[in-house]
Structure 1
């Protein structure tokens, strides 16, 4: 971008040009804009002379676009729309509408109801950006307590925080069909599993609580996502705690096998939506909060 460039045309000239095209002629545009026809003729003529191209060709009383005019019209519409959005954003910010919302989302949480909420939020967002940060275990709590997010979706509520329940999530202990434990899937103790490799998901907190979900495995590999964990477990390399909703297809095809371990091989948890400071939350944050509650209520009904 050349910051020293000085525009020769004005937004008013482009708006007049657009009105002449949209209304079908100078007389109609003059009535629509409540201006004299001569002033519109002068504005468009001056614009054409400055650009050195013909934008309109008048046939009778009708103004028609030239080929160059068609190209310039499309670009000018983007320009004037951008200015309107910029001015609207300034007004929204003046009224307390937030420019950006950060949502911390625990990665075990299903994405479909979140995406539905965002779809509903978009046409009402008034230009507010949304940043979604995927977190694992104590990562959500850290973002929340450090004030780094306006909303959080998490399975464990930190002390002193309230949350709205969204959905129940089930974590199950699984292995690949080719794993040596597959034949003994229904009669295992923790001591049977401990010698085998376990896949765990990396805690995203700066000071992670690394022992969460650990089954005293002698070997442990840490990965950054459940999708990588699923692939490694399917290869028969290890066992892992995985969300049932992410592996339903693999369970049906028996690529993954659910283990039955004495003492428990299923962990159920409730996912919560947390608005850390309801009194200070801006209108965009409250709107997205409501959309998230509504989308989850719809998905669970």
Structure 2
């Protein structure tokens, strides 16, 4: 297989761009600290090897031809790619990670994170971002095994530090015409046992079934809250779901909240964790800093104040359970 040898150089394309951007050879020569004749020669050589006319001179100004406009546009992509490639080499040399993994507990509302991720992207220097949806012990596994660089978790394993980030709230919901919704409220836990429960699969490689209420005789397991929401809206069973997913459906009458005796809701605090501690790379730290700048909870005390039960809630010692989210 023959090796392709380019007929043009990056420098020639950058000179062409400068001539166009600065309105002619004279101004481009000043900006590039080169002689006007050297720029003329570079563009002429470029046109010669390509066999097409890129510029035409009218008076003292150079104008792009139709072909020149197309070639200039593509050349900008080329020079931008080369700039990014060279920047990547510098980044890697100074320890900037080419890839960062963010694990987010599914109970966390993603909507407020989108502007933060956009700001991170603007400063990420081209590093790739992998976002993992995690549940229950799957989230803790990402922390303990240090498989993620940044984790938003519902729980802190023993000996692990984390920053309060936001709160989550889970409510028991079903379709308004479901038999559970027709019962006198609050219902008992025993009432749930004879109906289909939709649960979220633990994302851990060795999942634990000690978290959450899993006593229904009939149980369907799905991989994501979105799938659970679709099933519940269709009338199939009941499920504990985060309020950021259910509030709108409840307001539209598509879902109803069940009042469970002794546990009107489940809520807790989400933490931002750097599993690798001092070994966390600069790009991962940038992401963590961006997230913390926009966190909705500054302290555990603030979270406790925010979690005061509403007038129609029956609060109990079990109503704030950071472990039970599925």
- The answer as to whether partners of 1:185 and 1:259 remain within 8 angstroms in 2 is no
Find runs of 4+ consecutive structure 1 residues off by over 3 angstroms.
297-301
| Partner Cα separation in structure 2 for residue 112 and residue 134 of structure 1 | 14
Relative to structure 1, is the Cα distance of residues 163 and 153 closer, same or farther in structure 2, using a 3 angstrom cutoff? same
Match of 2:131 in 1: 132
Q: CA RMSD in A?
A: 1.9
Deviation digits for residues 60-115 of structure 1 (CA, Å, limit 9, x no counterpart) = 11111000000001011111111111111211222221111100111110102221
Question: What stretches of structure 1 of length at least 5 have no aligned partner?
Answer: none
Match of 2:113 in 1: 114
Question: What stretches of structure 2 of length at least 5 have no aligned partner?
Answer: 307-326
Match of 1:261 in 2: 260
Match of 2:84 in 1: 85
Q: Which deviates further from its counterpart, 239-248 or 229-238? A: 229-238
Aligned length: 300
Match of 1:172 in 2: 171
Residues 226-241 of structure 1 aligned to structure 2 (within 5 Å): 226-241=225-240
| Secondary structure of 1:41 counterpart | helix
- The answer as to whether partners of 1:24 and 1:63 remain within 8 angstroms in 2 is yes
Relative to structure 1, is the Cα distance of residues 28 and 215 closer, same or farther in structure 2, using a 3 angstrom cutoff? closer
- The answer as to whether partners of 1:185 and 1:260 remain within 8 angstroms in 2 is no
Relative to structure 1, is the Cα distance of residues 185 and 259 closer, same or farther in structure 2, using a 3 angstrom cutoff? farther
Match of 1:216 in 2: 215
Residues 20-35 of structure 1 aligned to structure 2 (within 5 Å): 20-35=19-34
| Secondary structure of 1:148 counterpart | coil
- The answer as to whether partners of 2:143 and 2:275 remain within 8 angstroms in 1 is yes
Match of 1:184 in 2: 183
Deviation digits for residues 197-244 of structure 1 (CA, Å, limit 9, x no counterpart) = 100011111111134222410000001111111121122220111111
Deviation digits for residues 114-133 of structure 1 (CA, Å, limit 9, x no counterpart) = 21221221222111221111
| Partner Cα separation in structure 2 for residue 285 and residue 107 of structure 1 | 20
- The answer as to whether partners of 1:178 and 1:235 remain within 8 angstroms in 2 is no
Q: TM-score, normalised by structure 2?
A: 0.87
- The answer as to whether partners of 2:100 and 2:129 remain within 8 angstroms in 1 is yes
| Partner Cα separation in structure 2 for residue 297 and residue 278 of structure 1 | 23
| Secondary structure of 1:134 counterpart | strand
Q: Compute the displacement of 1:164 (Å).
A: 0.7
- The answer as to whether partners of 1:194 and 1:215 remain within 8 angstroms in 2 is no
- The answer as to whether partners of 2:95 and 2:281 remain within 8 angstroms in 1 is yes
Match of 2:17 in 1: 18
Q: TM-score, normalised by structure 1?
A: 0.94
| Partner Cα separation in structure 1 for residue 113 and residue 156 of structure 2 | 19
Match of 1:97 in 2: 96
Match of 2:269 in 1: 270
| Partner Cα separation in structure 1 for residue 186 and residue 76 of structure 2 | 69
Q: Compute the displacement of 1:16 (Å).
A: 1.0
| Partner Cα separation in structure 2 for residue 248 and residue 135 of structure 1 | 22
- The answer as to whether partners of 2:98 and 2:127 remain within 8 angstroms in 1 is yes
| Secondary structure of 1:116 counterpart | helix
Q: Compute the displacement of 1:175 (Å).
A: 1.3
Q: Which deviates further from its counterpart, 22-31 or 265-274? A: 22-31
| Secondary structure of 1:72 counterpart | helix
| Secondary structure of 1:170 counterpart | strand
- The answer as to whether partners of 2:155 and 2:270 remain within 8 angstroms in 1 is yes
